[in-house]
Amino acid sequence: MKYSLFRIVMAITCFTIVQVSVANPIADYNFTKIEVDESVEIRAGSVGAIKIPVIALAKAKIASVDGVVVSFENGSHFSLSTIRDDQVGFKGVDMRNWPQYILGVKSKGSEPASFIEQAIKAGEVTIQNQIDPKIISKFETEKGIGYIAIGEQQAVIFIVDNDQPNIIAQITTTKMSEKDIQTIIINGVIK
C-alpha cells in the first residue's frame, strides 16, 4: 500500500514538473475579417498600422502622444505605439518574441537571459496584475503575427512583423468591448 501511494505521488509530481517546464500553448484567436467599405489607416512607426472603419471614427477624437490615441464617445479608447529593441535596453535583440515572454506563453529562447527575465517581470506587472486576462491568443496579420490578452476592462495587442526584428507594435485598449476590439482593431490588421 505504501509503495503504491509513493508511486502515485511520484507520478503526480513528475507530471506536474513536466507540465511546468513546457511552454504554455497559445490558442488561435478566431475572427473572420469583415469587408469594410471605407477605412482610415492609423500608423505609429513602421509596424504599427491599423485600418479602422470610417464609421467607427464618427465621433472619435484622435491625438498623437508617444504614438496615436483614439478616444470614443462612450469613454473607451485605445493607444497604438511601437516598442524598439533600444527602448527596452537591448539594442540588436530580436523583439519578435517579446510578446510571448510578456504574455507568459514562452519562458526560454535564444535571447539574452536578462531580456527574457525583464519581459517576464513586465508581464507579471502589466499583463497579469493590471489586465488580468481571460483570453490570451494569437492571430495572423498581413505581415506576421498578432498576440492578444483581453481582460474585463483592458486589453493589449502586440503586432509582430516577420521582416522587422527590432520593432513591434503595441495596442492597449481601455473599456472597449471584445466586439469593438474585433471590429475596430483586429479587423484592421488581420490577413
Residue 145: half-sphere exposure toward Cβ, Cα within 13 Å: 15
- Name the helix (H) or strand (E) containing 155: strand 154-161
Provide the residue ranges of all domains of the chain, joining segments of one domain with +: 29-188
β-strand partners of 148 = 137, 157
Q: What is the pLDDT of residues 7-55, one digit of tens each?
A: 333 443 333 333 333 355 788 998 888 899 899 999 988 888 899 999 9
- Rounded Cα distance, 101 and 87, in Å: 16
β-strand partners of 160 = 145, 168
Window from 9-23, 59-73, 159-173 with minimum mean pLDDT: 9-23
User: What pLDDT, on the 0 to 100 scale, is given for residue 52?
Assistant: 95
Over 90: is that where the pLDDT of 93 sits? Answer: yes
Would strands 144-150 and 61-64 be described as parallel, antiparallel, or unpaired? Answer: unpaired
- Rounded Cα distance, 86 and 95, in Å: 10
Q: What is the pLDDT of residues 103-162, one digit of tens each?
A: 999 999 999 999 999 999 999 999 999 999 999 999 999 899 999 999 999 999 999 999
User: What pLDDT, on the 0 to 100 scale, is given for residue 121?
Assistant: 95
Neighbouring C-beta atoms of residue 7, cutoff 10 Å: 10
CATH 3.40.1000 matches 29-188: yes
For the chain, state the CA radius of gyration: 19
Task: Note the helical H segments in 93-153.
Answer: 98-102, 113-122
User: What pLDDT, on the 0 to 100 scale, is given for residue 79?
Assistant: 96
- Rounded Cα distance, 12 and 53, in Å: 51
Length of the chain: 191
β-strand partners of 105 = none
Residue 97 banded pLDDT, cuts 50, 70, 90: very high
Would strands 77-84 and 135-140 be described as parallel, antiparallel, or unpaired? Answer: unpaired
Whether residue 56 contacts residue 40, with contact meaning beta carbons closer than 8 Å, is answered with: no
